[in-house]
Amino acid sequence: MQILVVDDSALVRDLVTSIVVGAGYPQPLPAKDAREAKAHIKRSVVDLILMDISLPGVDGLQLTRQIRRNLKDDYWIPIIFLTVKDDPDYLAAAIDAGGDDYLVKPVNQVVLLAKVHAMSRISKMKAALDETNLQLSRLTQIDALTNVINRRGFDESLEHTWRLYRRNNQELCLLFLDIDDFKTYNDNYGHPQGDRCLRQVSELFKSCLRSDSDILARYGGEEFVIVLPNTTLRAAEKLAQKILHRLAQEQIEHQHSHVAPYITTSIGISTTRDGATTAQKLLSQADRSLYKAKSNGRSQICCYEDIGQSAETEL
C-alpha cells in the first residue's frame, strides 16, 4: 500500500516513515504542503494519506475537501488526520471535511499501525467490490446472443472513442453492417436457426478485426457496427472487403436470399474526414452509406465520401 505523509515537520515525516517502513510497508511519499501532496496524487497511485491538519497555506481540511472534490467517485483514498488538538468539535470538523480517522500527536506507533492496518483492509475490500461492480457493468453491455458489445455498450464506447479522436486528432472510421435479406432467412429457416446464424456471423466479423482497439457491437436485430480508431478510410475499406470475402468463403446457406445462395452483408463506411462534428453525426453518415449500399443491390460497400454531397442535399 502506497502511503502519502503530509506534514510540514520533517521530524514528523521521518518518524511516520520509520514506523510504516518498519512494519513492512513501502517507503512513503513525503509532502510538506498541499502543493507537494497534490503533485504526488496526480502522478502516483496513492492508497492512504496521513495528513497534518495544520499545514502552511492550504491547511489539511481545505486540502481534503479539494481531494474529495477533484478525484473521481470510484477513486477513494482513505485519509487519517494527524493533529495536536484533541478537541471533539475540531475532530468532528475534520471528519466532516472528508477525513476518515484521526490520530493525536505525538504519534503512538501501536495506534498508528493499527489504524493503517484497518484502512488497508477497508481499501482491499473496496478494491474487490469495485472489481465486482466493473464485471457486472461489463455484463450489462454484452449482447447475450452474440457475446459482442450491445447497443448500450456501443453508445458508451463510441462516445469514449470520439473524445480520444478529438484529443489526438487521428482519423476515426465507422462501419455499419446489415445482413442482407435476414427477414426471409428467419421466415424460412426459423428463428432458432436465425439466432445460430447471427452468432456465426458475429464470430466471423470479430475474426476480421485487426486489434483490441477495434470495436464490434450488435446495433440491433441483424445490424452490426465496427468502430475503427486511428484508421484511414482506405484501411477501413480493406477491412470491409475482407468481411465480404470471408462471407463468400464461409458460404452460410441462404437459399431464399435475393442476392446470393449464402449469407451476405451490406456495409456503409464513414470517416471523420467527411466533416462529422459529433459521434452521432459520424454514425448517421455510415447509416446513410449503408442505405445506399443496399439500394445499389446489397452485398457491397459504400463510402460516405462517394455520396456525401447528394446525402447532404437530401438532409
Among the listed ranges 13-17, 23-27, 70-74, 288-292, which one has the minimum average pLDDT value?
A: 70-74
Domain ranges across the chain: 3-137, 151-314
- Can you name the CATH fold of 151-314? Alpha-Beta Plaits (3.30.70)
Q: What is the pLDDT of residues 200-209, one digit of tens each?
A: 999 999 999 9
Q: What is the pLDDT of residue 306?
A: 87
Cell digits for 140? 450489462
Averaged pLDDT, 35-61: 91
Averaged pLDDT, 129-145: 79
Q: What is the pLDDT of residue 315?
A: 42
Q: How confident is the model at residue 313 (pLDDT cuts 50, 70, 90)?
A: very low
Instruction: Fill in the amino acid letter for 120.
Output: S
Give the side-chain half-sphere CA count within 13 A for 4. Answer: 27
Report the mean per-residue pLDDT for the chain. 91
CATH architecture label of 3-137? 3-Layer(aba) Sandwich (3.40)
8-state DSSP, 26: P
Q: In what order do the strands lie in the sheet with 215-220?
A: 215-220, 223-228, 173-179, 265-271, 301-303
Q: What is the pLDDT of residues 194-236, one digit of tens each?
A: 999 999 999 999 999 999 899 999 999 999 999 999 999 999 9
For residue 314, indicate whether it is catalytic: no
Whole-number Å distance between alpha carbons of 185 and 100: 61
Which one from 203, 222, 250, 305 is the annotated catalytic residue?
222
Tell me: pLDDT of 309 over 70.
Answer: no
Q: What is the pLDDT of residue 49?
A: 95
Q: What is the pLDDT of residues 152-205, one digit of tens each?
A: 999 988 998 998 898 788 899 999 999 999 999 999 999 999 999 999 999 999
Q: What is the pLDDT of residues 246-296, one digit of tens each?
A: 999 999 999 999 999 999 999 999 999 999 999 999 999 999 999 999 999
* Phi, psi angles (nearest 5°) of residue 169: 55, 45
Q: What is the pLDDT of residues 85-100, one digit of tens each?
A: 888 888 888 889 999 9
Q: What is the pLDDT of residue 310?
A: 53
